[in-house]
Amino acid sequence: MNIERFELEFWLNPLDDKAKYNFGSSCCKPVTVSEMLDLTGTDQEAFFREIESMSLHYGYFEGMPRLKQAIAGLYTQAVTPEMVLCVHGGTGANSIVCQALCEPGNNVVCILPSYQQHYSIPEALGCEVRIFNCGAGEEYSVDLNKVRAMVDQNTKMICLTNPGNPTGYTFTKAELEELTDMARETGAYIVSDEIYRGLSTEYMYSICDLYEKGIVTSSTSKVFSSAGTRVGWIVTRDLSIKDALMNLRSYNSICEGPINELIAAIILEKKEIFYERNRKIVEEAREILHQWLKGQPHLRLACNSMGPTSYIYYDFDIPAQQFAEDLLARKDVLVCQGGCFQQDKSFRIGYGFGDVEYFKSGLARLGEYLAELEQ
């Protein structure tokens, strides 16, 4: 398949361990197995006895029942375990959904900036991709009237990340309902990558709560501090597409590892503990970022974030990749350059790592770099 290079992964992965101040990650502070057991109040001896007795044969083909129940519990009562399919990570979820639904003759409406899978995979599969770019104007905004104008009878799906990657923008219930109305008019699906969902003090509405043809993709990677489990999921109330999803999953990974699914189930059963832990981490760091930005006249925050990252535009006449490369070379600070998200003169900054002094020191280095650009 001829597909565009995955810019974010090609940018971040080779540099992940190269910077003293790594603000590229979008995960909340990861836990060790021991920390996970302590946080959730799980009996360690019982946990390891269960693992010792596990068969190393194939796992559950739709996902461990305990895990599917825990995933369903992340949403309202509209979602049941039958509507959950466990897959290999959030990237596996996005890939499977796109491959199951997209084909030549369809179009896909994608709200940018977003995660590249949502537009590059449909394009590679022969779909027309229609882009609404929230970052194209002076101020970041989601103009749903312009999105509606892109939707027609050939629209297979509307794709978004909620909260946004990279911006952290969170759609209100009213905005999700408006998107639902426009999708329902033509029978389009709404695919919502909700991997950053859950860090608000209020319930964050999911597309699968509100729309019978809503499809959620997510995983334990970000707000559940366990990217290494590679446990993801697809949720949809439209069971008519379940066979297609299962078929693509069979080509993709067959099943997931039962040890990983057990860990994920324990974490999701205690979701509020992880929400509270990671909410505190990101809120403290985000406030530090906001205060620091008050002294940076050349930077503009895209929007208020409800995730572990924020997105920043700058007014220097320097391309995004060059800005990030120079920042890394001169100040040992790594950020995600805007080209990873089809944006110019901008970058994503992550702050979910849980070390305030580290973050302040890195911001000071970033401030030094900006001051040098003024000279």
Is 120 in a helix, a strand, or coil? helix
Whether 26 and 60 share a structural domain: no
Is 325 in a helix, a strand, or coil? helix
Whether 212 and 267 share a structural domain: yes
Please give the span between the terminal C-alpha atoms of the chain, in angstroms, as a whole number: 47
- The CATH code of the domain that includes 278 is 3.90.1150.10
Residues linked to residue 232 through DSSP beta bridges, in sequence order: 87, 219
Q: Using the 3D structure, point to which of 271, 295, 313 is the last residue of a domain.
A: 271
Neighbours of 18 (CB within 10 A): 11
Whether 267 and 291 share a structural domain: no
pTM for the full model?
0.95
Q: Using the 3D structure, point to which of 271, 306, 335 is the last residue of a domain.
A: 271
Neighbours of 315 (CB within 10 A): 10
Q: Is the dihedral of CA 235, 237, 242, 245 positive or negative?
A: negative
Is 219 in a helix, a strand, or coil? strand
**DSSP label at 162?**
S
The reported pLDDT for the residue numbered 219 is 98
The answer to whether residue 131 sits within a structural domain is: yes
Whether 188 and 107 share a structural domain: yes
The answer to whether residue 374 sits within a structural domain is: no
The answer to whether residue 294 sits within a structural domain is: yes
Whether 286 and 300 share a structural domain: yes
E strand segments, the chain = 21-22, 84-88, 107-112, 128-133, 155-161, 189-193, 214-219, 231-236, 299-301, 309-314, 333-334, 336-337, 346-350
Whether 148 and 289 share a structural domain: no
Q: How distant is the alpha carbon of residue 193 from its chain centre?
A: 6
Whether 241 and 294 share a structural domain: no
Which residues in the chain land under pLDDT 70? 136-138
Is 249 in a helix, a strand, or coil? helix
Which two three-digit tokens encode residue 338?
């805007």
Whether 49 and 79 share a structural domain: yes
What is the rounded CA–CA span in Å between residue 193 and residue 95? 11
Domain total of the chain: 2
The reported pLDDT for the residue numbered 138 is 63
Whether 19 and 129 share a structural domain: no
With tokens 């695919």, the residue in question is 191
**DSSP label at 126?**
T
What is the rounded CA–CA span in Å between residue 206 and residue 234? 12
Report CA-CA distances (Å) from 49 to 36, 53, 57, 162, 261.
Answer: 16, 6, 17, 38, 16
What is the rounded CA–CA span in Å between residue 219 and residue 203? 18
Q: Helix 44-52 crosses helix 33-40 at what angle (to 10 degrees)?
A: 120
- The CATH code of the domain that includes 184 is 3.40.640.10
The answer to whether residue 204 sits within a structural domain is: yes
Q: Using the 3D structure, point to which of 271, 291, 325 is the last residue of a domain.
A: 271
Task: Output phi, psi for 155, to 5 deg.
Answer: -75, 115
What is the rounded CA–CA span in Å between residue 76 and residue 167? 25
Range of the domain at 12: 7-32+272-369
Whether 23 and 38 share a structural domain: no
The answer to whether residue 350 sits within a structural domain is: yes
Give yes or no for a contact between 162 and 193, defined as CB atoms under 8 angstroms apart.
yes
The answer to whether residue 163 sits within a structural domain is: yes
The answer to whether residue 1 sits within a structural domain is: no
The reported pLDDT for the residue numbered 75 is 96
Whether 150 and 256 share a structural domain: yes
CB half-sphere exposure, 214, CA atoms < 13 A: 25
What is the rounded CA–CA span in Å between residue 216 and residue 210? 11
What is the rounded CA–CA span in Å between residue 235 and residue 237? 7
State which amino acid sits at residue 283: E
Whether 16 and 46 share a structural domain: no
The answer to whether residue 375 sits within a structural domain is: no
Is 9 in a helix, a strand, or coil? helix
